[in-house]
């Protein structure tokens, strides 16, 4: 069945403000130099709309000629998905951070697509796809190196789910609930484009880029807020936070990442409702935490969470770590921004380092040996509460525990070659080494032993032994055969 893809007027009765109308309302210019540069034509066209979005507001449609979002800046995967949906007769919009970031001249982290096609219809269009999610089933279209998330317009403002199987650390694994044949009361779940825009968290996250005519559709005043660099919940902030307290974490995250100001009512609501964060599911908290630690801006975001009293609730171990945590987070941000991979156990376990170093000091006996049972006991006391609170996967917890414990084995310069080889071969050694390096950089542990280990590991990597590489290994020297003199 081919559906209409006339999405400029997405709802019966919902018209489009015409350009004459918009021209009468000049935008309120409140800063936003970056966006203005990127969307000069757009901002010219933004009306001074009421800041409290009403449910009956008509969408603002900004035609291609009046904004600077170019298709060339979309990934080829996102374009393929949008075009295929469009050619099949469906409405297809780019939405969320993709539109927001492109309008700001930033590189989007990922691309999300929203459509009126139902999950099974989407699945049929893309062989390289799978349906995920329990209630709000989404389709992940998989390309080499990129996954495009395609969702059907949704009416419900309820919280998103974390990807299936995430708690077990296996993103996207099919479960019984994700069986495409499983019944879902689709009419209760799916909605109109306007409803879909309004169920989103912040106005700047709810802009649609329409592949049918390359226009931008704004149901919630997002373009104006983008221009003013303001972060505002869609609708009543207290209500939206009560619906899903994780929005508080996300709001502070965007504030830091985008350098935006919180709109005062949104800010007050976060202060007022911060305790509600304890009602969020552990899996979602852990998911959000990891997203932040992977963002390259974790230092600023943790500081904002702390300022709002939220870090103490979500991650008290990090809140207790004191100023040294900022140094540790800088180390992580630097690596992420340089394109280096930092594994989840390192991200999740790094906040334990200050406390762990104290434990280690206390576990060193007078003879200089480490009391292993004492250290392991202390480690359990440190990690177990976080494991429970955030439902960390067994794999992550094991890796964090082993990684931290192993620091006790490498806190002194290596004495024997076998010691280095044995430890370096362990599956958890890279985690231990990352912890150790971060701790040394943050001034928690002395650098001298770390340097000696680094040298030994380098030699091991370069020539497979701990001998100095300048000296050719003895066994490889060829013996010359004695020449046989000819008898004269």
Q: Nearest 10 degrees: CA dihedral of 362, 368, 373, 379? A: 40
Q: Which of 275, 291, 273 has the alpha carbon at shortest distance from 283?
A: 291
**CA–CA dist 110, 331 (Å, integer):** 24
Q: Which residues 147-186 are close enough to bind ligand ATP by CB under 6 A?
A: 159-160
Judged by beta carbon, residue 97 or residue 245, the one nearer Mg ion is 97
Minimum distance, C-beta of residue 250 to Mg ion, in the bound complex (Å): 11
Q: Does 244 contact ligand ATP by CB under 6 A?
A: yes
Minimum distance, C-beta of residue 112 to Mg ion, in the bound complex (Å): 5
Judged by beta carbon, residue 110 or residue 238, the one nearer ligand ATP is 110
**Residue that is written with structure tokens 């109308």 in the block:** 21
Of the residues 36, 110, 238, 343, which one makes contact with ligand ATP according to CB under 6 A = 110
Minimum distance, C-beta of residue 409 to ligand ATP, in the bound complex (Å): 38
- The b/e string for 453-474 (b: 16+ C-beta within 10 A; e otherwise) is beebbebbeeeeebeeeeeeee
Residue 363, both tokens: 């576990």
Minimum distance, C-beta of residue 78 to ligand ATP, in the bound complex (Å): 12
What three-state secondary structure class fits 138?
strand
CB 232 within 8 A of CB 225: yes
Q: Which residues 264-283 are close enough to bind ligand ATP by CB under 6 A?
A: none
Tell me the per-residue interface mask from 83 to 112 with Mg ion, x by CB under 5 A, - otherwise: -------------xx------------x--
Q: Does 109 contact ligand ATP by CB under 6 A?
A: yes
Judged by beta carbon, residue 110 or residue 441, the one nearer Mg ion is 110
Q: How many residues bind ligand ATP (CB under 6 A)?
A: 14
- What is the secondary structure of 355-368 as a DSSP string? HHHHHHHHHB-TTS
Judged by beta carbon, residue 49 or residue 148, the one nearer Mg ion is 148
Cα 432-428-333 angle, rounded to 5 deg: 50
Tell me the per-residue interface mask from 22 to 41 with ligand ATP, x by CB under 6 A, - otherwise: --------------------
Which of the residues are catalytic? 110, 112, 201
SS3 content of the chain, % helix, strand, coil (to 5): 50, 10, 40
Q: Does 173 contact Mg ion by CB under 5 A?
A: no
Minimum distance, C-beta of residue 99 to Mg ion, in the bound complex (Å): 10
CB 111 within 8 A of CB 208: no
- The helix (run of H) or strand (run of E) holding residue 272 is helix 264-273
Give residues in contact with Mg ion (CB under 5 A): 96-97, 110
State the residues that interact with ligand ATP by CB under 6 A: 96-97, 109-110, 112, 159-160, 200-201, 205-206, 244, 246-247
């Amino acid at each position: 069945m081919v559906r209409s893809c006339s999405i400029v007027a997405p709802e019966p009765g919902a018209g489009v403000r015409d350009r004459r109308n918009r021209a009468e309302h000049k935008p309120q210019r409140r800063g936003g130099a970056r966006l203005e540069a990127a969307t000069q034509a757009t901002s010219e066209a933004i009306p001074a709309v009421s800041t409290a979005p009403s449910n009956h507001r008509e969408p603002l449609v900004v035609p291609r000629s009046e904004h600077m979002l170019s298709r060339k800046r979309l990934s080829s995967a996102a374009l393929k998905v949008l075009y295929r949906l469009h050619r099949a007769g469906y409405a297809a919009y780019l939405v969320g951070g993709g539109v927001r970031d492109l309008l700001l001249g930033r590189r989007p982290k990922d691309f999300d697509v929203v459509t009126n096609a139902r999950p099974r219809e989407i699945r049929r269009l893309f062989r390289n796809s799978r349906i995920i999610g329990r209630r709000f089933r989404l389709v992940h279209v998989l390309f080499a190196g990129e996954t495009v998330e395609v969702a059907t317009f949704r009416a419900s403002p309820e919280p998103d789910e974390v990807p299936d199987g995430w708690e077990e650390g296996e993103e996207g694994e099919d479960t019984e609930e994700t069986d495409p044949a499983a019944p879902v009361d689709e009419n209760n779940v799916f909605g109109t484009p306007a409803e879909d825009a309004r169920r989103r968290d912040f106005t700047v996250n709810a802009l649609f880029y329409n592949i049918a005519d390359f226009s931008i559709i704004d149901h919630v005043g997002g373009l104006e807020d983008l221009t003013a660099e303001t972060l505002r919940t869609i609708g009543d902030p207290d209500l939206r936070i009560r619906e899903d307290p994780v929005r508080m974490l996300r709001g502070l995250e965007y504030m830091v990442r985008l350098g935006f100001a919180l709109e005062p009512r949104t800010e007050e609501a976060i202060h007022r409702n911060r305790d509600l964060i304890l009602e969020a599911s552990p899996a979602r908290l852990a998911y959000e935490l990891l997203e932040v630690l992977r963002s390259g801006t974790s230092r600023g975001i943790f500081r904002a969470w702390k300022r709002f009293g939220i870090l103490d609730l979500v991650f008290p171990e990090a809140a207790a770590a004191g100023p040294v945590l900022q140094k540790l987070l800088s180390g992580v941000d630097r690596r992420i921004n340089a394109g280096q991979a930092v594994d989840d156990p390192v991200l999740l376990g790094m906040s334990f380092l200050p406390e762990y170093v104290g434990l280690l000091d206390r576990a060193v006996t007078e003879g200089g040996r480490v009391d292993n049972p004492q250290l392991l006991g202390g480690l359990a006391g440190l990690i177990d509460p976080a494991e429970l609170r955030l439902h960390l996967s067994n794999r992550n917890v094991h890796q964090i525990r082993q990684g931290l414990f192993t620091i006790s084995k490498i806190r002194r310069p290596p004495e024997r070659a076998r010691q280095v080889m044995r430890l370096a071969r362990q599956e958890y050694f890279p985690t231990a080494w990352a912890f150790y390096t971060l701790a040394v950089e943050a001034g928690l542990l002395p650098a001298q032993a770390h340097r000696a280990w680094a040298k030994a590991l380098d030699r091991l990597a370069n020539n497979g032994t701990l001998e100095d590489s300048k000296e050719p290994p003895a066994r490889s020297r060829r013996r010359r055969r004695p020449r046989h003199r000819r008898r004269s």
